[in-house]
Amino acid sequence: MSAPVESTDFGVYVHIPFCSRRCDYCAFATWTDRDHLIGEYVDAVCLELDRSVSSGELVSATSVFFGGGTPSLIPGELLVRILDRIPLAPDAEVTVECNPDTVTAELAAIYFAGGVNRVSFGVQSMVPHVLTALGRTHDPASVARAVGFARNAGFLKLNLDLIYGGAGETLDDWCETLDAVIALRPTHVSAYALTIEPGTPLASDPARHPDDDDQADKYLAAEERLRNAGLLNYEISNWAVPGDECRHNELYWAQGDYLGFGCAAHSHRQGRRWWNVRTPDRYIETVAAGESTEASFELLDPEHRHVEGLRLALRTNVGVPSDALSDEDRELLDPLLEEAGGRLRLTVDGRLLANEVAVRLR
Q: What is the CA radius of gyration of the chain?
A: 20
Residue type for position 199: G
Distance CA 72, CA 229 (A): 28
At 49, which amino acid appears? Answer: L
**What is the residue type of 111?**
Y
Domains and CATH numbers, the chain: 10-253 (3.20.20.70), 316-358 (no CATH)
Q: Are 103 and 146 in contact (CB under 8 A)?
A: yes
* Beta strands 157-164; 188-193: pairing state: parallel
Is 267 within 8 Å of 218 (Cβ atoms)?
no
The conformational region for residue 259 under phi > 0 = left, psi -120 to 50 = alpha, else beta, is beta
Beta-bridge mates of residue 297: 274
Among residues 300, 312, 303, 305, the alpha carbon closest in space to that of 250 is found at: 312
- Number of Cβ within 10 Å of residue 362's Cβ equals 11
Would you tell me the crossing angle of helices 105-114 and 140-153 to the nearest 10 degrees?
Answer: 40
Three-state SS letters, 217-269? HHHHHHHHHHHHCCCEEEECCEEECCCCCCHHHHHHHCCCEEEEECCCCEEEE
**Rounded CA separation 83/12 (Å):** 10
> In the prediction, which pLDDT does 21 show?
83
β partners of residue 162: 124, 191
Tell me the residue type at 172: D
Peptide bond before residue 69 is cis, with ω within 30 degrees of 0: yes
pLDDT in tens, the chain (362 residues): 554 455 689 999 999 999 988 887 887 889 999 999 999 999 999 999 999 999 999 989 999 999 999 999 999 999 999 999 999 999 999 999 999 999 999 999 999 999 999 999 999 999 999 999 888 889 999 999 999 999 999 999 999 999 999 989 999 999 999 999 999 999 999 999 999 888 888 878 887 888 999 999 999 999 999 999 999 999 999 999 999 999 999 999 999 999 999 999 999 999 999 999 999 999 999 999 999 999 999 999 999 999 999 999 999 999 999 999 999 999 999 999 999 999 999 999 999 999 999 999 99
Q: Are residues 11 and 257 in contact, defined by beta-carbon separation less than 8 angstroms? A: yes
**Nearest by Cα to 117 from 244, 234, 253, 230:** 244
DSSP code for 5: P
